Amino acid sequence: MSATPNGAAAQPFVARTIRLTLNGQSRELDVLPWTTLLDLLREQLDLIGSKKGCDHGQCGACTVLRDGKRINACLTLAVMCDGATLTTIEGLASGDQLHPMQQAFIKHDAFQCGYCTPGQICSAVGLANEGRAHDSVQVKELMSGNLCRCGAYTNIRDAIEDVLGGAR
């Protein structure tokens, strides 16, 4: 063990145990303090639907739901999710039955390359949970944190409005 500048022994970092519900299943996981939620999902749990786009919270490709609200997994430390309920794109469907938002994205051809699609769908589900989008302008504004390099925004908006319209 090495010494710190004041002569005290340096303490090694140790993993912390967190408990959470992930896609409907209770999990107990050991994570290092600096592990992001995105890295935990992709590298330790093999849930690769959430994408690492910018790794700076600017593109939304990593969007998941924590307690029903959308968050950027790349900016969230895994230890911050202790006790939370998390839903990733892998957890939205119920068996073979797609979530209505997933069905709407297919119906409206709301993707091209598909890289941003998991984050777009999770963000759209979070947007629907918030209940604040009442027209196309609000959907556009409230989805502005999710970028699509292919430019499928019109179809994405149509899919979201289709689901929101059915919920109204």
Contact 76, 39 (CB under 8 A): no
Give the pLDDT confidence of 81-136 residue by residue, as tens digits. Answer: 999 999 999 999 999 999 999 999 999 999 999 999 999 999 999 999 999 999 99
19 phi and psi, to 5 degrees?
A: -120, 135
Looking at residue 163, the DSSP 8-state letter turns out to be H
100-167 matches 16-91 in CATH topology: no
Side-chain-side CA neighbours of residue 54 (13 Å): 16
Name the class of domain 100-167: mainly alpha
State whether CATH 3.30.1330.20 applies to domain 16-91: no
The residue extents of the domains of the chain are 16-91, 100-167
Give the pLDDT confidence of 133-153 residue by residue, as tens digits. Answer: 999 999 999 999 999 999 999
* Gap between the Cα atoms of 152 and 114, Å rounded: 10
Contact 148, 115 (CB under 8 A): no
